[in-house]
Structure 1
Amino acid sequence: MTARTTAGPRIAILGGGIGGLAAAAFLQRQGIQATVYEQAARLAEVGAGLVIAPNAGRQLRELGVLEHLSKDSVRLDTGWQFRRWADGTVLSEEDLAASCERLYGEHTYTAHRAALLAAIQSRVPGHLVKLGHKCIGLDATGETWRIRFADGRSAEADVVIGADGVHSAVRNAIIGSSPATDSGLCAFRALVPAGDAPDFARRPAQTLWIGPGHHLVHYPISAGKYVNLVAFAPADGDTVESWTATATVEEFLAEFNGWDRRLTGLIRAAGTPGRWALLDRAPLARWSEGSATLLGDAAHPMFPFFAQGAAQALEDAAVLARCLAEGIDDPPAALLRYEGLRIPRTTRLQTVSHGRSHVNHLPDGARQRARDAAFAQEDPLVANGWIYEYDPAAALAGTARANPRTQP
């Protein structure tokens, strides 16, 4: 049974990934307990590395976990280093060491997803995390919700937060089916042991190699023990949307045939790469129904081209916890306030992330040369300030508590 707190309603979070555990941790900071239901038998984030931009880093620092994570992370000195596909020419780069903290009050880091998940989990009491609970449906029963699990068990809650990812059962229950479309792209992921990686890939830098129809990003993670690779290429019809699908190094190399030999040498050092399809999902106009809502990829799956998926889940969690704390006596109104604050921002990020592949994947020619010239003049750390400067507390302070759907 979902825990009931002296502060009010029973809150159930479906999904024990980064967003779900962050929601529980931020609620805990507000003195509100929430029960997390996770389908896996143990908490272990799949995938590989991720970039922790300043907007995410500040939320982790607020939770008190950034220093805990520091032993397993890398602080970047260089970011947005764009290199030309054929010869590695540096088109532009950002001096994060000199500017990031000054502009946004925090550095930029990289980490393995599992290390980030463990750091956040440390702020959630263990008895509030229920493993082996795969949600398959949600039923409204008056002012409460009945959560159905795959093994026949069920639970009741007054508030439900769907943090159950891109295939969210909660989203389907409260919003309806939102079918995905084929983006035409697939992603490869791989980890290279640092000892097998060339010097240029071990530097504390986020590097993006861009070329016709493809791009590849690499950066060190796990205190420099590994180099994380993530690459994007045209998808074939057999590619599936799954974090656990795999390819071969030969298939990975074939996509980057003819690229700079330093890059293909790095790919050769990879183990078994993952490969999955990037499916396209339009932004949702609403996330909530009564006292149930969505968070993270369940609400706003986005292409990873701005490295903001985990960051937006953390922001969601921080805003949601504050909204519920301030509106604990009226959860439906609190959830409407939450979605009203978050939907415009996440929709904008979904949109710009969607368009980035067209910029990165231009074929050689006049448009590519114009893009490269623009990169040489651009300061991405400043140009993307609207992403990195976001403050959940300030966002709440600037809004009324009225129902955002009913305001004129």
Structure 2
Amino acid sequence: MKNEEASWTICLECQGRGKKGQRLSKKVRLRYQAALDQFEKTNEGKVPVRPKPHLNPCLNCSGSGLVHAASPPIADKENLPHVAIIGAGIGGVALAVACLHRGIPFTLFERDNNFEARSQGYGLTLQQASKAIAGLGIFSLEEGVISTRHLVHTTEGKVIGEWGVRKWIPSEAKTFSKRSNVHIARQSLRLALLKQLGGHDMVQWGHQLIDFTTSEEGSVDLNFQVNAELKSFKADLVVGADGIRSSVRRLLIGEDTTPLRYLGCIVILGICPMSALEGIDSSLLDSATVFQTANGNERIYIMPFTLDSVMWQLSFPMDEDEAKKLSAQGNQALKEEACRRTQWHDPIPQILAATQETQISGYPVYDRELLKSELLAKAGKVTLIGDAAHPMSPFKGQGANQALLDALALARGISKGCRPLSQWRKSGLRESVLTEFESEMLKRSAIKVKDSAEAAEFLHSDIVLHEGDEPRGRCIKKKEL
């Protein structure tokens, strides 16, 4: 199914969830009722949990939760909460798109003055979120590149690990039934989401959040700095989607409660066009292979960025002050450091040497301690998604994936919790939507934050040199079991 110049709305058969619950069998219903009757008679033990029906993909919408519409749904300002989304990165724009499909009124604010103001990172890999983007009306990514082979090398070029469908299927095969990772430039995915939203004009650019307070009427009053002027805005719900240094999070729970946590290493990133590598014959540069090379200290990861370029990510342990200093020295210093540390097997030295300094950046790697539900329980009509809620290291490629899942889950939660007759204004959005959403989000993302932090350590140790046809670190999981 290809993207079309079309509007979308939620599938009424599954209420936009993409799945439909099977009817519980009579046997299961009777067993639950008997257990409930017994509990009510004796009042002993735990209250029986009502069984949940098994969910199957909705056939009407092919599991996306969306169906074609003649025009975008009209925002239901009378019955649904107006959502102020702070941050127009991947998570913020995705939430706006999901709200649009459900008729949820929203306003999307971004502190940058325009789309090109920042690079918004380099490339990302869609994993669990590959299905989630269909729930955002994106059924194909023209700029996306699918990898079908992953290799791990020593610095001499010896292969110590290989996986992916091409390990078992001939390389000339064109289609694969197994799930594959999709690699795409972050800005390309962001642009695809903006197109679903209706274009750049749907974003309130140049709005720097100053503060917010809850008014006597129950709305949230937000103040923004716009071109040196102060502007105010009212909303029923505020969502911080403004990244690892989130202003919403700082205003909500403070910086000292869960400060940035340095993970002991620095990352240097670069993008190299294939045209700069003419004359270099390597099967690793076939636009469908991801490879990494490590020595127990430094580690480089190289993946397709587009069909005619690759992205590389070099990381290594470094004292925090030294990492900040190196990052501040600029592109030339970062390139020199990267080249000095990677005189390894071909085509790594050639790729780094051919990368223009303007396409190189570097930064110390941080995350935060896991956010506890209790810290958000008193947040009222404010919540967080993506890196604002659960920042993590880039080593498991989960940041954008989790942000997309957060956005879709929150929009679905608003649509469900604020449906007609729900009386959400009386009970409050926290009880109607946010408590359940945050509990699910934090539980889902916790393992990703933990695994990403562990990866920052083991990818720069001898564990990465473990011989085995599996992702690095899986041997640790096996030992723990």
Task: Sort the TM-score into its range (normalised by shorter chain).
Answer: 0.7 to 0.9
Of 214, 222, 228, the residue aligned with 2:298 is 214
The answer to whether residue 157 in structure 2 is matched with residue 88 in structure 1 is: yes
For the aligned residue pairs, the C-alpha RMSD in angstroms reads 2.8
Shift of 1:15: 0.1
The change in CA–CA distance for 1:241 and 1:362 in structure 2 (over 3 A counts) is same
- Looking at structure 2, the residues matched to 43 and 226 of structure 1 have their Cα atoms a distance apart, in angstroms, of 22
Instruction: Give the aligned partner of residue 42 of structure 2.
Output: none
Write the letter of the residue equivalent to 2:120. V
Alignment check: 8 A CA contact 1:49 1:113 kept: yes
Q: Which of residues 360, 364, 368 in structure 2 aligns to 1:277? A: 364
SS at match of 2:291: strand
1:150 to 225, 249, 253: 225
**Is the contact made by 2:209 and 2:223 (CA closer than 8 Å) also made in structure 1?**
yes
Q: 1:82 to 1:269 in 2, by over 3 A?
A: same
Q: Which residue of 1 aligns with 2:245?
A: 167
Residue in 2 that maps onto 1:267: 352
| Larger deviation, residues 200-209 vs 313-322 | 200-209
Deviation, 1:155, is 1.2
User: What amino acid maps onto 1:89 in structure 2?
Assistant: K
Q: How many residues align?
A: 366
User: Is 2:185 the counterpart of 1:112?
Assistant: yes
Task: Indicate conservation of the 8 Å contact 1:239/1:276, yes or no.
Answer: yes
**CA-CA distance at 1:61 after TM superposition:** 2.1
Q: Which amino acid is the alignment partner of residue 448 of structure 2?
A: L
Of 189, 202, 215, the match for 1:141: 215
305-314 or 30-39, larger mean C-alpha shift = 30-39
* Equivalent-residue separation in structure 2 for 1:66 and 1:117 (angstroms): 15
Q: Find the aligned partners of 1:361 and 1:118 in 2 and give their Cα distance.
A: 34
1:154-186 CA distances to partner (integer Å, 9 max, x unpaired)? 211110000001111100122222321332211
Partners of 2:181 and 2:439 lie apart in 1 by 28
SS at match of 1:36: strand
- State whether residues 96 and 108 of structure 1, in contact with CA within 8 Å, keep that contact through their aligned partners in structure 2: no
| Distance verdict in 2 for CA 1:114–1:14, change over 3 Å | same
Quick one: which amino acid aligns to residue 259 of structure 1? W
Is structure 2 residue 390 aligned with structure 1 residue 319?
A: no
Residue 96 of structure 1 deviates from its aligned partner by: 3.7
1:130 aligns with 2:212: no
Unaligned runs of 5+ in 2: 1-74, 170-174, 419-423, 476-481
The yes-or-no answer on 1:228 pairing with 2:304 is no
The CA deviation at 1:326 is 0.7
Q: Distance in 1 between matches of 2:372 and 2:326?
A: 26
For the residues of structure 2 that align with 1:150 and 1:244, how far apart are their CA atoms? Answer: 27
- The answer to which of 178-187 and 270-279 deviates more is 178-187
- Report the Cα offset of residue 89 of structure 1: 1.5
Q: Does residue 372 of structure 1 match 2:466?
A: yes
**Is residue 211–residue 360 contact of structure 1 (8 Å, CA) maintained in 2?**
no
CA 1:241 to 1:331, structure 2 compared with 1: closer, same or farther past 3 Å?
Answer: farther
Write the letter of the residue equivalent to 2:353: R
| Superposed CA offset, 1:304-339 (max 9, x none) | 111111000000011111111111224212011111
State the alpha-carbon separation in 1 of the partners of residues 308 and 322 from structure 2.
33
1:78 aligns to 2:114 (yes or no): no
> Which whole-Å deviations, capped at 9, do the CAs of 1:214-264 have from their partners, x for residues lacking one?
211111222x121111111223525349999843221221233x4325312
Per the alignment, in what secondary structure is the counterpart of residue 123 of structure 1? helix
Query: Quick one: which of 195, 217, 239 aligns to 2:323?
Result: 239
1:18-45 alpha-carbon deviations (Å, 9 max, x no partner): 0000011112222213110011111244
CA distance in 1, matches of 2:328, 2:241: 19
Aligned to 1:398: none
What residue is the counterpart of 1:336 in the other structure? 435
Query: Which residue pairs with 2:84 in the alignment?
Result: 12
Residue of structure 1 equivalent to 2:62: none
Cα distance between partner residues in 2 of 1:340 and 1:322: 15
- TM-score (norm. length: structure 2): 0.70
The alpha-carbon deviation at position 211 of structure 1 amounts to: 1.9
Indicate the residue corresponding to 2:113 in structure 1.
41
Unaligned runs of 5+ residues in structure 1 are 384-408
Larger Rg, first or second structure (1 or 2): 2
Counterpart of 2:345 in structure 1: which amino acid?
Answer: D
Partner of 2:265: 185
The code of the aligned residue for 1:206 comes to V
Alignment of 1:351-362 (within 5 A): 351-362=450-461
Q: For the structure 1 residues 358 and 96, does the alpha-carbon distance in structure 2 shift closer, same or farther, using more than 3 Å as the test?
A: same
Paired residue type of 1:168? S
Partner deviation per Cα, 1:326-385 (whole Å, 9 max, x = no partner): 11224212011111111012111111111113222124xxx66xx523x34x478999xx
Q: Deviations over 1:71-107 (max 9, x none)?
A: x12111113x2221x212222222246799645xx43
Instruction: Quickly say closer, same or farther: Cα 1:315–1:140, change in 2 above 3 A.
Output: same
Q: Percent identity?
A: 25
Could you say what secondary structure the match of 1:32 adopts? coil
Task: Say if 1:274 and 1:382 are closer, same or farther in 2 by CA, change over 3 A.
Answer: closer
User: Secondary structure, in 3 states, of the residue corresponding to 2:197?
Assistant: coil
What is the match of residue 251 of structure 1? 337
Q: Is the 8 A contact 2:271 2:305 kept in 1?
A: no
Contact 2:82 / 2:104 at 8 angstroms: preserved in 1?
no
In the other structure, the counterpart of 1:194 is: 274
> Could you say what secondary structure the match of 2:115 adopts?
coil
Report if the CA contact (8 A) 2:459-2:472 is conserved.
no
Whole-angstrom distance in 1 between the partners of 2:327 and 2:416: 37
3-state SS of 1:153 partner: strand
Cα distance in 2 between the residues matched to 1:358 and 1:228: 22
Say whether the 8 Å CA contact 1:220–1:228 is kept in structure 2: yes
| SS of residue matched to 2:100 | helix
